[in-house]
Amino acid sequence: MTVRRITSLGIMLALIFALSSLENALPPLPFLPPGVKPGLSNIMVMYCAFFFRKREAFLLAFLKSGFVLLTRGAIAGIMSFAGGMISVSIITLLLALFGERISVAAVSVSGALAHNFGQLAASSLILANTYTFWYFPVLAVSGVLFGIVTGITLKALTPALGRVLRDKDV
Amino acid sequence: MNRPLFKKADFILIAAVLLVAAALFLLVPKERGRYAEVYVNGKVVATLDLTKNTTASVTGAPSVTIEVKDGAAAFVASDCPDKVCIHTGFVSVSGQTAVCLPNRVQLRIKGGDDDVNLDAVVY
C-alpha cells in the first residue's frame, strides 16, 4: 500500500465524517418525511468502491458507523452500521457482477435503497416487531430520489476528487 | 469517469421501485383510527382512546410523553438525541406508526376497520 493510497483513504474518511456531521447538524427539512436524510457521506463510500479496493469501501463504511456510535450514541451507531454494511455489500456486489457496464445511478439508487432497507430491518429488530415496515413506501421513494441526487453528485465530483485521491504517485 | 450516469435499463428499475411503493401505499386503507397502542420493547404498555384528549408519560420509558388530541396521537417529549419521534408529528390513520428508537417506544394507530387486512379491501 502506497503512502498516497493511505493518505487518500484518510481524506475520504475525513470527508465522510464531515458530511455525516454536517447532515446531522442541519435542522430536519420540513418537506422531508421524518428520519429521511440525503446520505451525502455515501458519495465517498461509493467513490471508494468505484476507484479503490472493495474491502476499503467496507472499511470506510464500518469506520463511519464507529464515528456515529461515538458522536450520536448506540442506536444511531447500530442504524448506521446496518444501513452502511448492507448498502456497501450491494454496491460492491453490483460492481463485481456488472463492472463497467453498470451506470452510476443504478449503483447509487441500489445502494440508497439497500441502506434504507437495512435500517428498516434494524429498527424492526430493536423494536421487536415489524410495524415500521409501514414506512417502506416512503423510504423506497426517498431512496430513489436521494440515490439519484448522490449519483449525480458523485459523477460531477469525480474529476475533482480524482486529482487528489488516487493510488499511485504521479 | 467514463461510466455513464444513466442507462436505459435504470429507468425500468426506478419505475419498478416507484410502482411497487405506490401500489403498497395505495393498498393500505386510509381510515382514521379509534385508538393508539403504545409499545415498549415490542410489548403493549398502554392503549389510548383517540376520542379522549390526554397527555401522559409512557410506562417503562418515563422520559417519553405522548399526547392525544382531536383523534390523533403524537410524541411530544423525549430525551432521545435525534427527536425523530417528535418530528413525526401527529398520526391518526389506522396502521400509521411513530417510533422513538433510542427509547424503543412505538406508537401505533389501530382500529379503523380494526386491523389492516388487505384481503378485505375493495375499491
Domain assignment present for residue A169? The answer is no
Domain assignment present for residue B88? The answer is yes
H or E stretch at A101 = none
Q: Would you list the DSSP string of B31-64?
A: -B-SEEEEEETTEEEEEEETTS-EEEEETTEEEE
What are the tens digits of pLDDT across the range B40-88? 998 999 999 999 999 999 999 999 999 999 999 999 999 998 889 999 9
Q: Does B94 touch chain A (CB under 8 A)?
A: no
Q: What is the CATH number of the domain that holds A50?
A: 1.10.1760.20
Domain assignment present for residue B108? The answer is yes
Q: Name chain A contacts of B6, Cβ cutoff 8 Å.
A: 103-105
Say whether B20 and A79 touch across the interface (CB within 8 A).
no
ipTM for the assembly: 0.81
pLDDT range class, residue B112, cuts 50, 70, 90: low
Among the partner residues B10, B96, B99, nearest to A127 by beta-carbon distance? B99
Residue B122 has pLDDT above 80, yes or no: no
What is the count of structural domains for chain B?
1
Contact at 8 Å (CB) between A51 and A162?
yes
What is the count of structural domains for chain A?
1
Domain assignment present for residue A95? The answer is yes
Q: Name chain B contacts of A109, Cβ cutoff 8 Å.
A: 10, 13-14, 17
Q: State the pTM of this model.
A: 0.89
Domain assignment present for residue B14? The answer is no
Among the partner residues A100, A131, A159, nearest to B3 by beta-carbon distance? A100
Q: Name chain B contacts of A110, Cβ cutoff 8 Å.
A: 13
Domain assignment present for residue B40? The answer is yes
* Nearest by Cα to B40 from B61, B24, B22, B57: B61
Domain assignment present for residue A170? The answer is no
Q: Does B120 touch chain A (CB under 8 A)?
A: no
Among the partner residues B7, B98, B99, nearest to A103 by beta-carbon distance? B7
- Write out the residue range of the structural domain in which residue A82 sits: 3-164
Domain assignment present for residue A108? The answer is yes
Q: How far is B54 from chain A (nearest CA, A)?
A: 24
Q: What is the CATH number of the domain that holds B78?
A: 2.60.320.10
Domain assignment present for residue A101? The answer is yes
Instruction: Give the mean model confidence (pLDDT) for residues B110-116.
Output: 64
What are the tens digits of pLDDT across the range B5-47? 999 999 999 999 999 999 988 888 788 899 999 999 989 999 9
Q: What's the pLDDT score for residue A19?
A: 96
Residue B121 has pLDDT above 70, yes or no: no
Domain assignment present for residue A45? The answer is yes
Q: What's the pLDDT score for residue B117?
A: 47
DSSP secondary structure code for residue A77 in this structure: H
pLDDT, tens digit only, all 170 positions of chain A: 789 999 999 999 999 999 999 999 888 788 888 889 999 999 999 999 999 999 999 999 999 999 999 999 999 999 999 999 999 999 999 999 999 999 999 999 999 999 999 999 999 999 988 888 888 999 999 999 999 999 999 999 999 999 988 766 54
Among the partner residues A72, A105, A132, nearest to B99 by beta-carbon distance? A132
- Write out the residue range of the structural domain in which residue B109 sits: 35-114
Using DSSP bridges, classify how beta strands B54-58 and B61-69 pair: parallel, antiparallel or unpaired: antiparallel
Q: Please enumerate, as own/partner, the contacts of A21-29 that have beta carbons within 8 Å and a separation of 24 or more.
A: A21/A71, A24/A72, A28/B87
Q: How far is A46 from chain B (nearest CA, A)?
A: 13
